[in-house]
Structure 1
């Protein structure tokens, strides 16, 4: 099973050819820890990753990661605050390019930050590496504007810096776009320091640029309504004009489905029986914001899209064992469903289509079974490292780190040109206005594309 904090930072590693680790900012009033115990913590983290993480060298060579880890360790020369050290460990984790590995601040330190720090006073969303103001209580008229600079720092440079602390499979940026809004205020605070005022440049929807001054506020005061609330139902089935069937599958995790009284197997069987009864020729499977879940659900979904039995996983392994077909059902040949769909399949994804849902997309891609719309999905095409995990608490800083213990390799053919994710055939992105107004023009546009396609 694959399932996926609070980030705070004070050092910034700007990606460079030398891969040097850090440079400090001032964080007055925060407790500092001497260098020796922090070096001990970092050594424990490094040793644990190298001992237990079976996919540590999937995307970066051992030589390259050793150079990064050495640089980070050597940067611990003086005492550091816990957020400063957290930045160092987080960069080291993100350098592996594994989306299931991460670190978290100790709860007490996170609570202190939430209660006392003054941060950038607006909620920011990121769409295709552009920053947009979702809401700003200090100046509500800024809602919906693109943010171009903060205190003379261009947003593309800010995004580049902050992305380097966010883990994602193969460094796929579509996932970083979706993850950064959750971490932006803490990241920005520790990277650029404690700032009381923010001179911003912005661009409105009609292309006009403007400037204004904002003032720091407590993070608890700046939040407005959640742009992406948890759905009441994770599984929905409907029809659109043109006899198009739409399956929206927002999770593969049985635990979430149990809470809402949904059953994945029964849902699929009922939906595909109805599709066959109606003679539907086009099917859209929407897995946006599906961050994964139970391994078998992805394989089960694909079994309704093929008339042939198929292989799903090529291999599963830990740092000490290679699993066999007797250990894991999805290492066995998977059986096609009798009521499988033989028509045209479209799959709609975004940067939070991750983990088990990315594996499903990879199988559909390698078998040329679908046309892809939306964004590059957030997981690696060839697999991921997830499953059971080790929760490591570093004793001196109390930072906790998650180390996944199973390397999954999906049974897929190689992609050309070093591509590591599933690239959409039809790139589609929501606008900030869509998100604010709770409209789904990406889905509407996907349906229009499907309606325009004629098949014989």
Structure 2
């Protein structure tokens, strides 16, 4: 049972005090804090003394007393002291599953992974339904996974059993697995993959099959961790495709020639690879890239552009040599293969931090860049402070225009987007129309008194997903600003709360979204991402010259509006 969320921690802390008051006994947690909060060893000694001498006066029978004290210490970054309290908790309540879960988390935070797994497994013995324990064990195993399984071979039956397990788990855990693909079509693909399994199928071939099954439920929160990370990391450099390619308008162009600079120029269009057209290759690869709903090419294109040297070998079944047909030449060109590989392309991002705020005096414009919303629990105040401080400065400077750049922002805590919108909305809004019961975002959220009154421009692309898609959907529905860029990777339907899973035989790790949310923006399609008001993407020339096409566009648009 995860309790890192600070709001939940406060509830737990207060609940133990209330429980102590209700049964007429004093809080042992408060007694320990008052006696020796800065010396936990001394506080534990005091606990034992009170239990021996005055057990009837204190709430020793409530495990939340020690549990909450442990998390209070953990929240203050007193990790070793928290571990001592959780050890005491398990000693006092050895047959309760949650103390072992808490101790496992303390061990993990203190870097003792083997002991953490031992505690989580004990928690699972006591409560087989403890999903947090299962998930955390899988996370630890994922971090320590075998990264040298490329040529490993399992039995045909083990592969078939794992395909059944994967398909079943996907369709049982995800709340709407057949929303975008029919049940018959999904299970038809499962059978197609089973028919491809032989006694010589390798792990690398098998994980490629798995990625297609996961992509077929079209859930932006269901994927193989690392977004092609497991596949990429085990692929030998000598088997990588020896050109960096980019997908522009479903055509392949050379972004970097790597070891083939003397054979092919940057910017050259590749018509075919080993006799297969570029369009066919992209179509096959796109089947293995998951996006939210029926999002078009944008979301898949960006991932391909950063993983092309690895994705092409998987799509073509790991050829030992490559020959390409390029524009302007009829004869194929034999490519030199790589010996070592290092990604050579730089990301186009002027903000190297998690978030940045800049000002342009030329057109009286503020530029807010948010790279992710990954601030949960007690850390949320970091993001909240950035947003609050930014708007205070923006309003003080009387910035007439505000550019909010969320390109590449794949999501995170939706309270971040909600907090931002409260500075932009002109009237109360409800964030979700469907969400878990009790969610505060099912209720109207009021704009702040000092809302921004200028012109707002949102910059987004095919990597803008999850919470960012929700932000864009609400902004578009309420006409809060002008959207510029390309279709986002989702916007209305959001299946978060994903958990790590691991296939029984092959050990393939995968994530599945579990919790359904629907953003309250009825004018935006539930099937697709959020479309911009102005469609703008990089051209080939802009990509090769590192030109920020979308930013340049909005600057020109602002200049025109000022005239």
Interval containing the TM-score (normalised by the shorter chain): 0.7 to 0.9
Query: Which of 1 and 2 has higher RCO (CA within 8 Å, sep 6+)?
Result: 1
Where does 1:357-368 land on structure 2 (aligned, <5 Å)? 357-368=468-479
Shift in CA distance, 441/47, structure 1 to aligned 2, threshold 3 Å:
closer
Out of 333, 337, 340, the position equivalent to 1:220 is 340
Provide, for residues 284-313 of structure 1, a one-character-per-residue CA deviation record: whole Å limited to 9, x for no partner. Answer: 211111111112001111111112121001
Which residue number corresponds to residue 283 of structure 1? 402
Where does 1:179-194 land on structure 2 (aligned, <5 Å)? 179-194=303-318
Which residue number corresponds to residue 324 of structure 1? 437
Which residue number corresponds to residue 501 of structure 2? 392
- Conserved in 1, the CA contact under 8 Å of 2:351 and 2:369? no
Out of 534, 538, 544, the position equivalent to 1:430 is 538
The structure that is helix-richer by fraction is 2
TM-score (normalised: structure 2):
0.66
Q: Cα distance, 1:165 vs. partner?
A: 0.7
- Conserved in 2, the CA contact under 8 Å of 1:150 and 1:200? yes
- Whole-Å separation in 2 of the counterparts to 1:337 and 1:77: 62
Provide, for residues 20-49 of structure 1, a one-character-per-residue CA deviation record: whole Å limited to 9, x for no partner. Answer: xxxxxxxxx934333211111111112211
Out of 272, 286, 308, the position equivalent to 1:163 is 286
- Whole-Å separation in 2 of the counterparts to 1:104 and 1:288: 21
Which residue number corresponds to residue 254 of structure 2? 133
For structure 2, list consecutive stretches of 5 or more residues without a partner in the other structure: 6-141, 143-149
- Conserved in 1, the CA contact under 8 Å of 2:468 and 2:491? no
Q: Cα distance, 1:198 vs. partner?
A: 2.9
Higher gyration radius (CA): 2
Q: Cα distance, 1:69 vs. partner?
A: 3.0
Out of 484, 495, 500, the position equivalent to 1:373 is 484
Secondary structure at the aligned position of 1:32 is classed as: coil
More moved, 335-344 vs 102-111: 102-111
Secondary structure at the aligned position of 2:403 is classed as: strand
**Backbone CA RMSD of aligned residues:** 3.2
More moved, 280-289 vs 106-115: 106-115
Where does 1:47-58 land on structure 2 (aligned, <5 Å)? 47-58=168-179
Pair 1:113-2:235 in alignment: yes
Shift in CA distance, 210/311, structure 1 to aligned 2, threshold 3 Å:
farther
Provide, for residues 219-264 of structure 1, a one-character-per-residue CA deviation record: whole Å limited to 9, x for no partner. Answer: 7335324435795323222333332322222211227x97xx9932
Q: Cα distance, 1:128 vs. partner?
A: 3.9
Which residue number corresponds to residue 383 of structure 1? 493
Which residue number corresponds to residue 34 of structure 1? 155
- Conserved in 2, the CA contact under 8 Å of 1:227 and 1:436? no
TM-score (normalised: structure 1):
0.80
Q: Cα distance, 1:391 vs. partner?
A: 1.8
- Conserved in 2, the CA contact under 8 Å of 1:145 and 1:202? yes
Q: Cα distance, 1:97 vs. partner?
A: 1.1
Where does 1:56-455 land on structure 2 (aligned, <5 Å)? 56-76=177-197, 78-103=199-224, 112-114=234-236, 117-140=238-261, 142-172=265-295, 173-202=297-326, 213-218=333-338, 220-221=340-341, 223-227=343-347, 231-240=351-360, 241-254=362-375, 263-316=382-435, 323-325=436-438, 328-378=439-489, 380-387=490-497, 389-415=498-524, 420-453=528-561
Secondary structure at the aligned position of 2:272 is classed as: strand
Secondary structure at the aligned position of 1:221 is classed as: coil
Which residue number corresponds to residue 21 of structure 1? none
- Whole-Å separation in 1 of the counterparts to 2:294 and 2:549: 27
Aligned residues: 410
